[in-house]
Amino acid sequence: MPVDRAIVSPYDTSARYARHGHIISWKRFAAHLTETCAADGPNVITDVATTAATTHDSQVLPGIHTRLARRGLLPAEHLVDAGYTSLPHLKQAAREYQVTVSGPLIGKSMCGRAGGGIQAACRPDDGETGRSG
């Protein structure tokens, strides 16, 4: 049975298992908040998305960028955690919105081997290694 249809709690039939790192818990929904992070001003929430707990964080990023673009609130650089990064979505953000998404890529990528960290290796600019020139 698909995980998005399996009942995991007799008390809440819409609850589903979700994994964040090594923690597995059951919950119904996930909230995704986007906020500004300017050093010289207050942090302001610019987008809120709610998804089923079974929706992977990386699937939410394109919708966030679409909504931010519609409101004229796209940042030049979008800092995200590892759950939101996937090479196709990083490339899409750069191509469609001219947004540099910075965050650790999980899996077989140049990020862990490049020695320069996120800034040097995890940007999708050159298409082959993910390095920005």
Q: Is 85 exposed, middle or buried (0-12, 13-18, 19+ CB in 10 A)?
A: buried
Closest CA to 130 of 110, 107, 101, 106: 110
Q: For residue 42, give the 3-state DSSP assignment.
A: coil
Q: What is the pLDDT of residue 21?
A: 58
133 or 96: which carries more pLDDT confidence? Answer: 96
Q: For residue 112, give the 3-state DSSP assignment.
A: coil
**Mean confidence (pLDDT) of the chain:** 74
51 falls in which pLDDT band (50, 70, 90)?
Answer: confident
Backbone angles phi, psi at 51, to 5 degrees: -130, 165
Q: What is the amino acid identity at position 127?
A: G
Q: What is the pLDDT of residue 130?
A: 37
pLDDT value at 70 more than 60: yes
- Mean pLDDT for the stretch of residues 46-55: 86
68 falls in which pLDDT band (50, 70, 90)?
Answer: very high
Pairing of strands 45-52, 77-79: unpaired
106 falls in which pLDDT band (50, 70, 90)?
Answer: confident
pLDDT value at 78 more than 90: yes
What is the helix (H) or strand (E) element at residue 96, kind and residue range? helix 87-97
